Amino acid sequence: MPAVSKGDGMRGLAVFISDIRNCKSKEAEIKRINKELANIRSKFKGDKALDGYSKKKYVCKLLFIFLLGHDIDFGHMEAVNLLSSNKYTEKQIGYLFISVLVNSNSELIRLINNAIKNDLSSRNPTFMCLALHCIANVGSREMAEAFAGEIPRILVAGDTMDSVKQSAALCLLRLYKTSPDLVLMGEWTSRVVHLLNDQHMGVVTAAISLITCLSQKNPDEFKTCVSLAVSRLSRIVSSASTDLQDYTYYFVPAPWLSCKLLRLLQCYPPPEDGAVKGRLVECLETILNKAQEPPKSKKVQHSNAKNAILFEAISLIIHYDSEPNLLVRACNQLGQFLQHRETNLRYLALESMCTLASSEFSHEAVKTHIETVINALKTERDVSVRQRAADLLYAMCDRSNAKQIVAEMLSYLETADYSIREEMVLKVAILAEKYAVDYSWYVDTILNLIRIAGDYVSEEVWYRVIQIVINRDDVQGYAAKTVFEALQAPACHENMVKVGGYILGEFGNLIAGDPRSSPLVQFNLLHSKFHLCSVPTRALLLSAYIKFINLFPETKSTIQEVLRSDSQIRNSDVELQQRAVEYLKLSSIASTDVLATVLEEMPPFPERESSILAKLKKKKGPGAVSVNELEEGKREGGELNGGGDRGGDSSAIAASNASTPSPSADLLGLRTGPPVTAAAPSAGSLLVDVFSEAGVNDDGFLRDLEPPTESSDSLLAEGPGDSDSAPPSVVSEDPAPPLPESNELLNKFVCKNNGVLFENQLLQIGIKSEYRQNLGRMYLFYGNKTSVQFINVQAKPVEPLIEGGAQVQQVINIECLTDFTEAPLLNIKFRYGGALQNLSLKLPVTINKFFQPTEMASHDFFQRWKQLSQPQQEAQKIFKANNAMDTEVLKAKLLGLGMALLENVDPNPENFVCAGVIQTKAQQVGSLLRLEPNAQAQMYRLTVRSSKDTVSKRLCELLAEQF
């Protein structure tokens, strides 16, 4: 029985809850619940009209049953009835039931909206709040349609009660998240911003969340909030702990509001107004100072609230990344926390320092804490804290401390938790590669990795070591000697056998002079592992054997004998059998010359970004580590390892990809699609069938070569301090090739016209563009990010010189003559320091920029759709969603495409249809588009029909990259 029964207890409910609690088994509970459900159902169906109290009680019981985890399929109507009760208590239960149980597409939504409307206009603040809470809890599109116009008025009206304002602000925030297109602040903007000045702290606390959200989407319109936020913050920070009465929390004035203010400021660059900025810096300094003061209370709540503000302030300092003094102070403060007795603080300090490590101003300061962090890695009892320590070591690593950090991480690996081993392995592999000065250290490190944590060494890691060894003559002999030694261990990991087999097959000759590692010894050593290995490794070993026959003719008869044995030549595995047969035949009929040609040493791999980075990033999710750029390009390595002639082919493809940015190269390097079959998890949807079909006639061949699970994010800004440490994979000698990422960049601009086209450590190129009919104008902004001059800039009409920190603008007029697929290239050359920099970028001009939107009714749409029914007029693509399938984002993107988004045309409301006309000088091309999301399979089907086939095809290609 309840200890307290406040308000009006519902006795029947309490008894029911007691009954449930007394049930000895799950079965008994279910029985009791079914009995209750039957009872309620009969009451609801009964002839006798139920009074409000009973209805409320039964609805509440249903809610309880639902919250226990059982399904409820009735009672919704009764709950809706309660909404229009004039008794508060009944209304309240009705709203609670609706908030918890009604999903947004319920048919009842109209009735619910009606009740809400009545309560909103009741002018009774408690009723209004209930209604607003309900909207905020459900937050459906229908509600947005019904109330998005009304709520801003309630929010800013002079006679609205404070509590209603608070609910209205957060309610609006929720609706804005659901349907940003429906929430138009327009005329209210400035009054909403001025809520920051409201006398009631609660109103400010609620309103600021709304303002932060709106600022993030429309920073310019809400710019004035910066100075208001700074002065509000300044008043709070400098207030005595008692000034704010009930908003003071354990002697900390308004901690929630302070954090929200600091968060709002993170939507903007540092204030331009000197006075505002000065005031803000003062606030930040005060916050840092307060961290040093003795605590006003021993309670953990006091220190938590205080430090919550401190960490948010540090986030802002990092966000600005322009105040070296504050950055270093922040770092020192965090350094103290590293040894704090509170685990939570140690965790947060490690986490926060990771971001500080990427700032050039504080990188060195972070590095001074290396011993503490290493110690944390070794001694923290909580794995999540150790994980943070490993992250920070990774972030603070540079050439000066790489050997120490890698060694520490390696030794930690031996005892590391299973949950973080794979990530640790990737990190060690990346650091070893990135900061390798001599490659024997690199090879040692990777082999150690395999020895210590072989199970966690993914393909990417051992592919990479082979790539590097093959590409670098100076390390090949050492690698051969080291793997040979490693293989002598009685138990060695299969990954070691793979690396060993590959390397000895290529470079075994380099150590064959030593009788201890003569060809036969090498072969016997490898072959002694053969029977322990899986099929793919055995296949690799067979390829190594045939390479041995070429390298060392004296091993020929021994190896032929092995190949000839029944266990090889009649192996039940087709791949192994085929290799055995083919290699045997090859070795017996080919002349030495032919053999030498066929089995020649592998050509160097095309230089590519490390695929390990991609893997790590995928594991961690974007933004988690400050790794460099990355581009997937690994599969070829795998194929090569597969051995034999197949390898040759794919390496040729890889090579051509590296040198020509042809459309087919995109497929390999940049486009990301899942392997075409078996990707859709749940069958049964129509999409799946079509899907496999599409795979066949599509670019199946190239797609097969794609890595199966690759994320599309191929570009991360390069962190400072990394440029000098070019790993072997970063191409530096040849400045001319068009950026491999330029297609990716192009894709970024399909649905928008402004943004950053290119950015590296030196230069940032921003773009603004506008289009009308077949004409366009593009403004390019070249920003010099360094402090020195770029001279001899050759991007024609620009000034031939860009001052440090300055920006130069270039205008390009564009006329679309006819439809096109390739984007125009922009070549940029300039001198930085002594070195000539040469960039080649694709200008983000795509055919869709010349769309004129066309509105049409459903009937017209289908008529035109039918008219465009020739097979070549239609292009279709089925592809996997790269981003969350958010309706609003999709709409925004489709609008950005330039077509008209037609509402109420497609019978399925989840689908999108668009219409538009592309204006070129030569002709006009009408296009219709349909996009069908399948949320279950996380796939889209996109169909484009246009009067011109090339246009359909191009639009389809462009759009397929956008979602």
Partner 1 sequence: MNSVQLNSCEFISHLQTDLFIKMQFMLLFSRQGKLRLQKWYVPLSDKEKKKITRELVQTVLARKPKMCSFLEWRDLKIVYKRYASLYFCCAIEDQDNELITLEIIHRYVELLDKYFGSVCELDIIFNFEKAYFILDEFLLGGEAQETSKKNVLKAIEQADLLQEDAKEAETPRSVLEEIGLT
Mark the binding-site residues, compressed into ranges: 11-12, 43, 53, 57-61
User: Under rule CB under 8 A, which residues in 68-97 are in contact with partner 1?
Assistant: 69, 71, 87-90, 92-93, 96
Residue 213 or residue 465: which is nearer to partner 1 going by CB?
213
Shortest gap between Cβ of 431 and partner 1 (angstroms)? 21
**Binding region for partner 1 (CB under 8 A) out of 22-30, 307-315, 825-833, 895-903:** 307-315
Beta-carbon neighbour count of residue 63 at 10 Å? 20
Rule CB under 8 A: choose which of 157, 652, 736, 884 binds partner 1: 884
Residue 46 or residue 834: which is nearer to partner 1 going by CB?
46
Q: Which positions from 19 to 48 touch partner 1 by CB under 8 A, shown as an x/- string?
A: --x-----------------x---x-----
User: Under rule CB under 8 A, which residues in 795-854 are in contact with partner 1?
Assistant: none
Query: H or E element: which one contains 90?
Result: helix 88-101
The contacts of residue 296 (CB under 8 Å, 6+ apart) are 241, 251, 302
β-strand 825-832 against 790-791: which pairing, if any?
A: antiparallel
| CA gap 521, 555 in Å, rounded | 10
Tokens 């799950």 correspond to: 26
User: Under rule CB under 8 A, which residues in 661-690 are in contact with partner 1?
Assistant: 685-687, 690
- Based on the shown chain and the rule CB under 8 A, indicate whether residue 908 belongs to the binding site for partner 1: yes
| Exposure letters 288-316 (e unless 16+ CB within 10 A, then b) | beebeeeeeeeeeebbbbbbbbbbbbbbb
# binding residues, partner 1 (CB under 8 A): 114
- Secondary structure of 112-170 as H, E, C letters: HHHHHHHHHCCCCHHHHHHHHHHHHHHCCHHHHHHHCCHHHHHHHCCCCCHHHHHHHHH
Shortest gap between Cβ of 312 and partner 1 (angstroms)? 6
Rule CB under 8 A: choose which of 292, 572, 869, 904 binds partner 1: 869
**Binding region for partner 1 (CB under 8 A) out of 74-82, 109-117, 148-156, 883-891:** 883-891
**Binding region for partner 1 (CB under 8 A) out of 5-13, 149-157, 744-752, 821-829:** 5-13
Shortest gap between Cβ of 385 and partner 1 (angstroms)? 6
User: Under rule CB under 8 A, which residues in 720-739 are in contact with partner 1?
Assistant: none
Residue 427 or residue 608: which is nearer to partner 1 going by CB?
427
Rule CB under 8 A: choose which of 167, 333, 742, 852 binds partner 1: 167
366 near 353, Cβ under 8 Å?
A: yes
Closest CA to 783 of 806, 811, 756: 806
Shortest gap between Cβ of 452 and partner 1 (angstroms)? 24
Q: What is the dihedral of CA 475, 477, 479, 485, to 10 degrees?
A: -150
How far is C-alpha 859 from the geometric centre of its chain's CA atoms?
40
**Binding region for partner 1 (CB under 8 A) out of 284-292, 339-347, 556-564, 600-608:** 339-347
- Based on the shown chain and the rule CB under 8 A, indicate whether residue 145 belongs to the binding site for partner 1: no
| CA gap 893, 653 in Å, rounded | 34
Residue 730 or residue 885: which is nearer to partner 1 going by CB?
885
CA angle 924/930/932 to nearest 5° reads: 160
Token code pair at residue 207: 């309103």
Shortest gap between Cβ of 304 and partner 1 (angstroms)? 5
- Based on the shown chain and the rule CB under 8 A, indicate whether residue 139 belongs to the binding site for partner 1: yes
Query: H or E element: which one contains 484?
Result: helix 473-487
User: Under rule CB under 8 A, which residues in 353-412 are in contact with partner 1?
Assistant: 381-382, 384-385, 387
Q: At 112, phi and psi to the nearest 5?
A: -60, -45
Rule CB under 8 A: choose which of 189, 846, 848, 943 binds partner 1: 943
Q: Tell me the β-bridge partners of 784.
A: 763
Shortest gap between Cβ of 205 and partner 1 (angstroms)? 6
Residue 106 or residue 411: which is nearer to partner 1 going by CB?
106
Residue 464 or residue 945: which is nearer to partner 1 going by CB?
945
Q: Which positions from 249 to 288 touch partner 1 by CB under 8 A, shown as an x/- string?
A: x----xxxx-xx--x-------------------------
Closest CA to 397 of 451, 353, 338: 353
759 near 765, Cβ under 8 Å?
A: yes
3-state SS assignment for residue 537: helix
User: Under rule CB under 8 A, which residues in 622-661 are in contact with partner 1?
Assistant: 623
User: Under rule CB under 8 A, which residues in 217-256 are in contact with partner 1?
Assistant: 245-247, 249, 254-256
Residue 129 or residue 402: which is nearer to partner 1 going by CB?
129
Rule CB under 8 A: choose which of 712, 876, 882, 950 binds partner 1: 876
Token code pair at residue 85: 């009760």
**Binding region for partner 1 (CB under 8 A) out of 125-133, 367-375, 452-460, 522-530:** 125-133
Rule CB under 8 A: choose which of 222, 320, 347, 605 binds partner 1: 347
Query: Could you tell me how many residues make up the chain?
Result: 963
Residue 70 or residue 472: which is nearer to partner 1 going by CB?
70
Query: H or E element: which one contains 837?
Result: strand 835-842
Shortest gap between Cβ of 293 and partner 1 (angstroms)? 18
Shortest gap between Cβ of 166 and partner 1 (angstroms)? 5
- Based on the shown chain and the rule CB under 8 A, indicate whether residue 160 belongs to the binding site for partner 1: no
573 near 553, Cβ under 8 Å?
A: no
Residue-wise DSSP of 403-457:
HHHHHHHHHHHTT--HHHHHHHHHHHHHHHHHT-SSHHHHHHHHHHHHHHHGGG-
| CA gap 861, 855 in Å, rounded | 9
| CA gap 683, 686 in Å, rounded | 8
User: Under rule CB under 8 A, which residues in 102-121 are in contact with partner 1?
Assistant: 103-104
Residue-wise DSSP of 706-743:
S-SS--S----PPPTT-GGG--TTS--S---SPPTTHH
Residue 206 or residue 483: which is nearer to partner 1 going by CB?
206
User: Under rule CB under 8 A, which residues in 173-202 are in contact with partner 1?
Assistant: 173-174, 177, 201-202
332 near 365, Cβ under 8 Å?
A: yes
**Binding region for partner 1 (CB under 8 A) out of 143-151, 671-679, 739-747, 932-940:** 932-940
CA angle 69/74/76 to nearest 5° reads: 100
Rule CB under 8 A: choose which of 62, 112, 129, 757 binds partner 1: 129
User: Under rule CB under 8 A, which residues in 887-906 are in contact with partner 1?
Assistant: 887, 906
